[in-house]
Amino acid sequence: MLEGDINDITSLASALDASQPDFIFHLTAQPSVEFSFRHPLETQNINTIGTPTSEIGAC
């Protein structure tokens, strides 16, 4: 398991290069309801938009 920031494309690219995965399972989420109400766009980016965009950009 690798830990990092899904929004950091450089870090994500390094992790993908190092691990050479056959599959990627989306387990990224911003779990705080309070944070999500204060930061709805960041929450949407983390939970839906950011992951596929970051993964494709890092490949």
Q: What is the pLDDT of residues 20-34, one digit of tens each?
A: 888 877 777 788 899
**Domain spans in the chain, listed from the N-terminal domain onward:** 1-12+33-59
Q: What is the pLDDT of residue 51?
A: 58
Residue 58 makes CB contacts below 8 A (sequence gap 6+) with 9, 12, 13, 16
**pLDDT beyond 90 at 37:** yes
CB 35 within 8 A of CB 47: no
Share of residues in the chain with pLDDT > 90 (%): 14
Q: What is the pLDDT of residue 34?
A: 95
Q: What is the pLDDT of residue 39?
A: 92
Distance CA 53, CA 35 (A): 22
Three-state SS annotation for 1-59 = CCCCCCCCHHHHHHHHHHHCCCCCCCCCCCCCHHHHHHCHHHHHHHHHHHHHHHHHHHC
Indicate yes or no: pTM above 0.85.
no
